[in-house]
Amino acid sequence: MFGFQRLEIYQLSKEIVKIAYSMTRKFPNGERYALVQQMNRAAVSISSNIAEGTSRASNKEQAYFISIAYGSLMELICQSEIAYDMDYISALELDKFIQNAEVLSIKMSKYKKYLKEKRY
């Protein structure tokens, strides 16, 4: 098992991917190459950047990749709200996603702070 696979934020980010893919599966075909693709890429970007960041040598570099992952999460929140506004997802689906996103965002922020304060 690789180090990133043990991180709680990585495990939570994979849940976000599942939720995003579940939501976009029901979007109209006209969104296949627009909002669907953008949401799925943003979701995968979160997990990918967490994983990539752990391979970096310095805590500063690792924190940088957590920042990128955090930005992708914020992008996905925005896109989910747009999907709700367009009636592609229900209020219940949006709420479930937002709850998961809030938990992940808090834990990512704490992990980034930990990395910045950690000294070797």
CATH code, domain with 62: 1.20.1440.60
Token duo for residue 92: 């219940």
Q: How far apart are CA 60 and CA 69, in angstroms?
A: 14
**What would the pLDDT profile of 60-114 be if each residue is shown by its tens digit?**
999 999 999 999 999 999 999 999 999 999 999 999 999 999 999 999 999 999 9
pLDDT at 63: 96
Gap between the Cα atoms of 27 and 113, Å rounded: 37
- pLDDT computed for residue 118 by the predictor: 82
Is the model more confident about 118 or about 81? 81
Distance CA(82)–CA(41), nearest Å, equals 16
Query: What does the pLDDT average to over 38-54?
Result: 98
Nearest 5°: phi and psi at 88? -85, -25
- The domain in which residue 101 lies consists of 3-117
pLDDT surpasses 70 at 54: yes
Answer yes or no: is pLDDT of 120 > 90.
Answer: no
Q: For the chain, what is the domain count?
A: 1
Angle between helices 59-85 and 35-54 (to 10 degrees): 160
What are 1-31's pLDDT values in tens digits?
A: 899 999 999 999 999 999 999 999 999 999 9
Q: Are 115 and 67 in contact, with CB atoms under 8 Å apart? A: no
Q: Is the pLDDT of residue 119 over 70?
A: no
